[in-house]
Structure 1
Amino acid sequence: MPIRAYCTICSDFFDHCKDVAAIHCGHTFHHECLLQWFQTAPSKTCPQCRKQVSTRHIISKLFFDVGGEEHSSPVDPESLQNELDRLKALLSSKERDWRDRQKTVDSLRETVERQKVDLERVRKEVGEKEMLCSVLRKQMKYLENQQNEILSAKEEARQLRTKMKTYESLDLLLQGQRAEVEAMIADMGVGQSAMEQLSIYCISLKKEYENLKTSYRSTNEMCEKLKREVFASSSKVQKTMLELNRSKEDLRTVQEDLKNADKEITSLKKKVEILQKTLSTPTRTNEALSRLVFESPAPVELKQPRLHQPADSEDIDLNVTFDISTPELGGRKPGPVPSKKMRMDAVRTGFDGLGGRAKFIQPV
């Protein structure tokens, strides 16, 4: 059965379940509530009257003798009203605490929202940092690869320097004088390394000797081949020179023939002009002369010009002409030509054989 008194710290009635404690000012509280108050309060004072107290002034446990229900006094309305007021006050305090907690919850929600925004920002920054880290990792890998390449290049350079020294020594062995070679061998000293170096030199000299023999053999073969080609080329050149000289002689002969033909053409043109002038005035004398010209054999100067046939040619000469003698007129001298017969002659125009046209008399 609860005692009709309550703890002002937790606002619960005293009962037999929790121990009731008291301090020297006379106020009573639950023992657990009072210890918690002293642990959390900034100063050790009474929760109700605010007097200075200490833990050694606490009476940790009080005992109450509660009478039976049959001996209890009747319920007082004022005490009920007081109890109601106390409960209302307790409810209002609870509501106030609830509102405070609600405000705290709202502030915590705002804080959570801000923390979410900060979290998103931090996530973005983390993503950027991770991207930067990935780029840096790639750069580190690239630099490591370059470093490995540099190390391999250094090792290769060291090996090349060793080979170059060996080649210099071999060059000195191949092209140097005897004193220089002996000095180099003396500088090598005596030992396993010197013997290995000398064996390397011997093997290299043997390979060089074999290479020289092979190159000498190939050079001789190439020389013989070039000699044969030179002989064949010289024979071709001689043949070509002979043909060229023969062609030059033929060309010279053709040029002379052309010059003679030009001269003959010029003289023939002059004679043709004279004949055309004489034919343009038909008199009896001119007609007689024209008949004499046509009936008498042509002189040597009026023969058609022709080219000489080459000595070594087998072509048919198309310029060959045949001289036909004119028969005599029975010993009679040509007398004056009657006019009737002269009228029967016809004057015609044709090609003169020199690329032009000329007039000539043709008997009917």
Structure 2
Amino acid sequence: MSLVVNKNCSSENEGFVLSLKFKTLRLISNNRIHVTAVPASINCKLLEYQREGVRFLYGLYKNNHGGTLGDDMVLGKTIQAIAFLAAVFGKEGQSTLNENRVEKRDHALIICPTSVIHNWESEFSKWSSFSVSIYHGANRDLIYDKLEANEVELLITSFDTYRIHGSSLLDINWNIVIIDEAHQLTNEKSKLYKACLEIKTLRRYGLTGTAMQNKIMELFNLFDWVAPGSLGTREHFREFYDEPLKHGQRSTAPDSCGSPLTQVECCKRLVPDGAIWPYLHRDNHDGCDSCSFCLVLPCLVKLQQISNHLELIKPNLKDDPDKQSKDAEFAAAVFGPDIDLVGGTHKMKASWVSVM
């Protein structure tokens, strides 16, 4: 797959062609005549990482596969989903669709928390010209009649409504199903999860900022909804991943590094010369009673910062000098000899960095 910037927005190769700013974002099939594109009116407002999210969703779509778009809050998962749908449905006359074109008889379903139903409706009206109906409240039967008459492209409903009344929609073969706040599907015993498993579609997409909250089996449940069987059976996943992780976290766990000592006695010696460990144990150089669990949260925070933007790991001038010194040491370890090429250890002052 290739990414090409081309003034004429054309390519003979299978892949994606990103046109110039204020032009369409074209998602091109192997036939030059048939093109799927995000309308220019949406593309011009997308940031590059959001375009990558659209490409990701379309790549899954054209292969009749589901998946999860994971991104932090306020980073635009909703607009990425709308841009993807606008391309697939051929909005604004900007594209001729490929062989996966959505005909009028096809529909997309969006399931979300009740609190954001009208936000989704508002965003669709702002960005594109979809025929949108809300399946919620006393008008459900009327909305179903509109679906039957092919008068609805997108149906929006809430978790509670689908959990209780979703069986009325089971005879519909949905072209696309999107679940917002998809981490609501992490409990396989819940009525909502069981109801969503019965949805008829190959293209199931989850939007979430927390694919896993407490247990690794939550991750399995989410993936098994968007792409059934992709992680094997539940029993296989529990045996080979969940149970070993649980066992390894116990204080009585056997050695994992060749030492005859138990984990709580041994692991404090594993990371004394790292960039984070010395700072956490500056008052006790021999380690603490919870090593190495004491490193988990600080390391997760750093990984999250690195994932969002590398500038976030640089020292914050508003912090106390001790923390600034620690963060400067960590940044130097990350960037290595390239530290000066990325502006040293001082954060750039662009306002957008503070919201990542």
TM-score scaled by structure 1? Answer: 0.17
More helix by share: 1
More strand by share: 2
Higher normalized contact order (CA 8 Å, seq sep 6+, divided by chain length): 2
